[in-house]
C-alpha cells in the first residue's frame, strides 16, 4: 500500500510538473532598441503596447551585453543560447575565416538550398552556431513534440534563435518581398506561407507610403525632420516625410520596405499567421515562437536615434506590439503564454551630431589606419603581408608568414599596439591571447574575453574611444563595449509573472536560463546558470 501511495505520489508530482508550464514562450527582439526609448517616447505611447508590458510585467532596467562585438548575429545567438561568442562561436555577422581565408556569413550555408525563392537568399542555416538555443531546449524537453519557430525580416535573426532542431525559420527575400526559408527546415513552403506571399502584403503596405502617426510638431523628442545627420531612403531625395515607399522599392528592392515601419507591420501580420496555422500554444507541449523586428535597426542606421523617423518608428512599433499581444490573448489565452522583449544591441548617437554638440567624438579613419600600419610593419620587418585581415576591430596575423620568416610575434604585436595607441580615436589595443587565462578587470577586457572564440577570432583587438566609429557621416552603427551599444531593455510578461522593476546589473546571457527556470525545462547546453528571480503573480 505504501508503495502504491508512493507511485501515485510520484505520478501526481510528475503530472504537476508537466502542467506547470505555459503553453507558449514568445521571445521578441527589437533590433537596435535602446533602453531609453522606453522613457523618451513614454508620453506618446498608447496603453496596450509597451505600457501594458511594463504595467503588468517585470522590467529589468539595467541589462547589458557582456561581450563584444555588439552586432545582430552574436546578439541573437547570445540571447537564446545563454552564452557569449566565446562558446556559441557567432563572433560577428561576417567574419574572416582563418583556415580558408574566406569571409563567412554567420548563417550562410553553401549546402543549403532556397525554398520559396529562386535567389540565393535561402541558402542559410544555423550550421556555424556551436551551441544549442532555448528553442532546442524546448524541443528536447518535450521529446520534440513542442515546436520552435523563428521569424524575422533578417535571415540571421530568424535562424539563430530558433536553434538547430527548429521546426522552421522564415525571413524576407528582398527581391520578391516574400517570406522564405531553406531546405535545412523543409522541402517546400507550407500552403499558408505561399498564401501569405500571394496576398502581396509587402506591396499593399508600401502603397500607403510612410506618413507620421502624429502631427509633426508633436515629435518633441527629436530634431527637425531634415538634418545633415540622416541618409536618404531614395537617392537624391531629402530625408523628409512623407516617404514614397513604393518608389524606394522600385529603385532598389524590398529592402527599402524593411527600412520603414511597414517592415514591422509585415512581420506582425506574418506572426499572426504563424500562430494560427502552426497551432502554437494549442496542445500539452509548450512551444517557442521568436519574433525579431529588424526594421528599427535599419531605420536607426539610416537616420540615427535623434531623428523623427526613429521616434515615429517606436510609436508605430508600440501599436504593433499591442496587436501582437491581442492576437496572443485571442489565440493562446491571456496568462497561458510567457513573453519576453529585449534587443540584440543598442546604438551610438550619430558621431557628427554628438561632435557638433560639444562631445569629443569624431570618425575613425580606417583606410589611413591600415595604410599607416602596413607601411610601419614593412619598414620594421622588411616583409609584406604580416596582417592577413582586419575586420570587426580585430587584426588577424599571418602566422604562416611569421613562422616561415622567424619573425618575433611579440615584437610585431608590440609595434601594432604602439602604432594603434598613437592613432586618432583609439582607446586601447589588446593582444587577446594574453588575456587567457588571466581574469580581466576592466570592462573592455572582460567583454573582449567573452567575445573571443579560440577557433575563430583574431589576434589583436582594437578599442576606439567612446562615441567614435568607422562609418559614413550620416546615420549610426553599433558594435562597441560602451553603454550606448550594450544597454538594452528587458521585459518579462505573462504566465505566473508579477509586476516589478529590477535595477541590478544583468547580463544578456541571463535571459535564457531565466526562461528555462521559469518554464521548468532544461537549460540550453552552454547557457549561463544565473537566472533572474521573477516576481510571482
Q: Least distance in Å: CB of 174 to Zn ion?
A: 16
* CA 134/CA 141 separation, integer angstroms: 10
Q: Least distance in Å: CB of 345 to Zn ion?
A: 7
* CA 58/CA 90 separation, integer angstroms: 29
- 74 vs 126, beta carbon nearer Zn ion: 74
* CA 281/CA 26 separation, integer angstroms: 10
- 109 vs 344, beta carbon nearer Zn ion: 344
* CA 50/CA 38 separation, integer angstroms: 8
- 294 vs 510, beta carbon nearer Zn ion: 294
- 328 vs 348, beta carbon nearer Zn ion: 348
The 3-class secondary structure across 429-463, one letter per residue, is EEEHHHHCCCCCCCHHHHHHHHHCCCCCCCCEEEE
Q: Least distance in Å: CB of 32 to Zn ion?
A: 5
- 59 vs 314, beta carbon nearer Zn ion: 314
Rg (CA), the chain: 24
Q: Least distance in Å: CB of 24 to Zn ion?
A: 28
Structure-block grid coordinates of residue 329: 490573448
Residue 58 near residue 498 (C-beta atoms within 8 A): yes
Residue 18 near residue 285 (C-beta atoms within 8 A): no
Q: Least distance in Å: CB of 157 to Zn ion?
A: 10
Number of Cβ within 10 Å of residue 501's Cβ equals: 12
Stretch of 77-85, 188-196, 291-299, 518-526 lying at the interface with Zn ion (CB under 5 A): 291-299
Q: Least distance in Å: CB of 462 to Zn ion?
A: 19
* CA 377/CA 364 separation, integer angstroms: 20
Instruction: Look at residues 103, 104, 107 and name the one whose alpha carbon lies nearest to residue 73.
Output: 107
Strands 114-115 and 103-105: unpaired
* CA 216/CA 224 separation, integer angstroms: 9
Residue 106 near residue 92 (C-beta atoms within 8 A): yes
Among residues 35, 72, 133, 265, which one is catalytic?
A: 72
Q: Least distance in Å: CB of 299 to Zn ion?
A: 10
- For 27, 107, 114, 191, 221, the CA distances from 42, given in Å and listed in that order, are 22, 36, 42, 40, 10
Residue 265 near residue 205 (C-beta atoms within 8 A): yes
Stretch of 293-301, 336-344, 375-383, 482-490 lying at the interface with Zn ion (CB under 5 A): 293-301
Stretch of 5-13, 43-51, 236-244, 289-297 lying at the interface with Zn ion (CB under 5 A): 289-297
- 87 vs 297, beta carbon nearer Zn ion: 297
Q: Least distance in Å: CB of 536 to Zn ion?
A: 36
72 in active site? yes
- At 120, give phi and psi (nearest 5°): -85, 0
Residues ≥6 apart with Cβ < 8 Å to 96:
102, 103, 104, 388, 389, 391, 396, 458
* CA 395/CA 465 separation, integer angstroms: 18
Number of Cβ within 10 Å of residue 434's Cβ equals: 11
* CA 327/CA 277 separation, integer angstroms: 13
The residue sitting closest to Zn ion, measured at its beta carbon, is 297
CA 26-27-30 angle, to 5 degrees, is: 130
- 287 vs 297, beta carbon nearer Zn ion: 297
Stretch of 75-83, 296-304, 494-502, 514-522 lying at the interface with Zn ion (CB under 5 A): 296-304
Q: Is 485 in the site for Zn ion (CB under 5 A)?
A: no
Q: Is 221 in the site for Zn ion (CB under 5 A)?
A: no
- 260 vs 528, beta carbon nearer Zn ion: 260
Stretch of 81-89, 208-216, 297-305, 335-343 lying at the interface with Zn ion (CB under 5 A): 297-305
Half-sphere CA count of 433, side-chain side, radius 13 A:
12
Binding-site residue total for Zn ion (CB under 5 A)? 1
Q: Least distance in Å: CB of 159 to Zn ion?
A: 17
- 152 vs 413, beta carbon nearer Zn ion: 152
Instruction: Look at residues 107, 58, 20, 30 and name the one whose alpha carbon lies nearest to residue 324.
Output: 30
* CA 374/CA 378 separation, integer angstroms: 6
- 297 vs 311, beta carbon nearer Zn ion: 297
Stretch of 167-175, 239-247, 295-303, 349-357 lying at the interface with Zn ion (CB under 5 A): 295-303
Q: Is 297 in the site for Zn ion (CB under 5 A)?
A: yes
Q: Least distance in Å: CB of 340 to Zn ion?
A: 21
In 9-147, which ranges are E strands? 24-30, 58-64, 94-96, 103-105, 114-115
Catalytic positions are: 72
Residues that bind Zn ion (CB under 5 A): 297
Amino acid at each position: 500500500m505504501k508503495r502504491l501511495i508512493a507511485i501515485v505520489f510520484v505520478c501526481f508530482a510528475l503530472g504537476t510538473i508537466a502542467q506547470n508550464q505555459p503553453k507558449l514562450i514568445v521571445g521578441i527582439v527589437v533590433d537596435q532598441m535602446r533602453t531609453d526609448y522606453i522613457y523618451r517616447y513614454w508620453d506618446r505611447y498608447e496603453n496596450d503596447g509597451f505600457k501594458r508590458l511594463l504595467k503588468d510585467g517585470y522590467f529589468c532596467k539595467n541589462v547589458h551585453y557582456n561581450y563584444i562585438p555588439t552586432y545582430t548575429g552574436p546578439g541573437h545567438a547570445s540571447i537564446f543560447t545563454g552564452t557569449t561568442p566565446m562558446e556559441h562561436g557567432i563572433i560577428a555577422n561576417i567574419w574572416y575565416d582563418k583556415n580558408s581565408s574566406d569571409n563567412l556569413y554567420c548563417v550562410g550555408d553553401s549546402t543549403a538550398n532556397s525554398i520559396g525563392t529562386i535567389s540565393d537568399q535561402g541558402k542559410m542555416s544555423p550550421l556555424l552556431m556551436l551551441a544549442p538555443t532555448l528553442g532546442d531546449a524546448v524541443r528536447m524537453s518535450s521529446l520534440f513534440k513542442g515546436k520552435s519557430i523563428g521569424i524575422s525580416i533578417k535571415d540571421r535573426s530568424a535562424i539563430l534563435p530558433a536553434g538547430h532542431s527548429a521546426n522552421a525559420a522564415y525571413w524576407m527575400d528582398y527581391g520578391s518581398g516574400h517570406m522564405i526559408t531553406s531546405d535545412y527546415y523543409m522541402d517546400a513552403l507550407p500552403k499558408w506561407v505561399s498564401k501569405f506571399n500571394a496576398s502581396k502584403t509587402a506591396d499593399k503596405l508600401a502603397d500607403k507610403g510612410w506618413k507620421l502617426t502624429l502631427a509633426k510638431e508633436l515629435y518633441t523628442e527629436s530634431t527637425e525632420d531634415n538634418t545633415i545627420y540622416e541618409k536618404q531612403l531614395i537617392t537624391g531625395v531629402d530625408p523628409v516625410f512623407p516617404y514614397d515607399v513604393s518608389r524606394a522599392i522600385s529603385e532598389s528592392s524590398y529592402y527599402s520596405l524593411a527600412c520603414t515601419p511597414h517592415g514591422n507591420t509585415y512581420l506582425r501580420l506574418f506572426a499572426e499567421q504563424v500562430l494560427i496555422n502552426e497551432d502554437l500554444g494549442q496542445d500539452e507541449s509548450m512551444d517557442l515562437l521568436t519574433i525579431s523586428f529588424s526594421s528599427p535597426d535599419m531605420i536607426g542606421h539610416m537616420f540615427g536615434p535623434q531623428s523623427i523617423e526613429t521616434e515615429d518608428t517606436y510609436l508605430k512599433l508600440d501599436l504593433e506590439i499591442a496587436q501582437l499581444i491581442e492576437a496572443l490573448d485571442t489565440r493562446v489565452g491571456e496568462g497561458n503564454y510567457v513573453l519576453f522583449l529585449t534587443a540584440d544591441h543598442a546604438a551610438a548617437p550619430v558621431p557628427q551630431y554628438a561632435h557638433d554638440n560639444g562631445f569629443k567624438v569624431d570618425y575613425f579613419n580606417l583606410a589611413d589606419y591600415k595604410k599607416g600600419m602596413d607601411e610601419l610593419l614593412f619598414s620594421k620587418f622588411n616583409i609584406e603581408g604580416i596582417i592577413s585581415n582586419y575586420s570587426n576591430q580585430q587584426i588577424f596575423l599571418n602566422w604562416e608568414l611569421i613562422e616561415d620568416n622567424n619573425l618575433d610575434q611579440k615584437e610585431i604585436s608590440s609595434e601594432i599596439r604602439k602604432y594603434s595607441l598613437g592613432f586618432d580615436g583609439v582607446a586601447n589595443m589588446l593582444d587577446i591571447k594574453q588575456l587567457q587565462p588571466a581574469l580581466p578587470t576592466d570592462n573592455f577586457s572582460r567583454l573582449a574575453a567573452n567575445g573571443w572564440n579560440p577557433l575563430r577570432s583574431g589576434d589583436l583587438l582594437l578599442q576606439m574611444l567612446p562615441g567614435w566609429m568607422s562609418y559614413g557621416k550620416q546615420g549610426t552603427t553599433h558594435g562597441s563595449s560602451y553603454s550606448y551599444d550594450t544597454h538594452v531593455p528587458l521585459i518579462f510578461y505573462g504566465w505566473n509573472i508579477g509586476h516589478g522593476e529590477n535595477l541590478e546589473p544583468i547580463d544578456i546571457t541571463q535571459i535564457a536560463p531565466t526562461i528555462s527556470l521559469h518554464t521548468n525545462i532544461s537549460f540550453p547546453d552552454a547557457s549561463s546558470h544565473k537566472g533572474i528571480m521573477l516576481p510571482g503573480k
